[in-house]
Amino acid sequence: MRIPHLSAGLVKEGQLTKRLQAWWQGYYFEAEPEPEPEVEAPKVSEDLDSGTLGRDSAAWSDPRVQVTEKVWGTGYMSPGGDVQVQDLIKPLGLDSSMMIVDIGAGLGGTTRALHGETGAWVSGFEVSPLLSDAAMELSRIAGLTRKATVETFETENLPLRENGYNAVFSKEALFTMDNKEAVFQSIYNCLRVDGQLLITDYLATKPEATGGTIDEWVEQEPIRPNLWSLEQTRSFIADLGFEVRITEDITPALRGQILRGLGAFTSELDPKVKKPRGWNPAILAEVEMWANRVKVLESGDVAAFRIYGRKFDPSLK
């Protein structure tokens, strides 16, 4: 997860409200989402600055980080929160004797949720130094500086001990990474025999991860996606030595989470309340990014998938 630098341009309160309404009406309420299990949405009616109190990392001075966390909850930069992490890993049977890797940890919400649900030692990895520093600060505040760590990594050099981990988890992060081949190879190498891989990610639904709708979305993303197709991803990790057992389309659930999260956030924004400096352009950028993601998901050319696999004994390859 990487957060682009925001423009220094100012957006007035009235302009903010009108543009949010236009995006909301244009993208979100064309069709009602299917009912999904309720996920508690963050409240924003309280002091908008309260979430950054007692934090020293440079990330908390970045309006985009402040807004993103306010929308999706403490320690998160995308929908789902602790509840989704708990639901995703429940079938894996992880426990406190195990070691887990979290790729694309962001602010470390998933890293800490993985530890909280399993008791395992969790090592989170994030490409942005700004976010990894902030994530470690949140782990320190939670008393988890050893059991839920987050550090910076480069996609070409993921510092993982060979055959040292029981499971690897990644939540909608790999689609932004330039060198996914190297990341998947590192994941395979770090897992023990019978180790588990669970990822959720944006993938093209057709063999060619290009086309009008996809190309338009790729150009609009703040960080240009390195989009793979479902078939490309499944074939690549199978060739590495994973037995791919599940490829599930989770688009309806993700779409519902986006709608509820942004709906709760925007509905409680009071145009009469002055927001912290830099929040107006940050809010616009956040809503626009998720609006564009909803649009490409609704096109059917891109979907969110859950992929699960196990590393089989390489001597049997």
pLDDT in tens, 215-274: 999 999 999 999 999 999 999 999 999 999 999 999 999 999 999 999 899 888 877 788
Q: Class of the 13-316 domain?
A: alpha beta
Q: pLDDT (tens digit, 9 = 90+) per residue, 1-57? A: 555 544 434 455 556 656 666 655 565 544 444 444 444 444 443 344 444 546 888
Question: What are the CA-CA distances from residue 311 to residues 52, 120, 193 (Å)?
Answer: 41, 19, 6
Residue 79 burial by Cβ neighbours in a 10 Å radius (0-12, 13-18, 19+): buried
This prediction has a pTM of 0.86
pLDDT of residue 15: 60
* CA–CA separation, 22 and 293 (whole Å): 16
* CA–CA separation, 111 and 305 (whole Å): 20
Q: pLDDT (tens digit, 9 = 90+) per residue, 68-117? A: 999 999 999 999 999 999 999 999 999 999 999 999 999 999 999 999 99
Q: What is the mean pLDDT of residues 182-196?
A: 97
Using an 8 Å Cβ cutoff, are 202 and 173 in contact? no
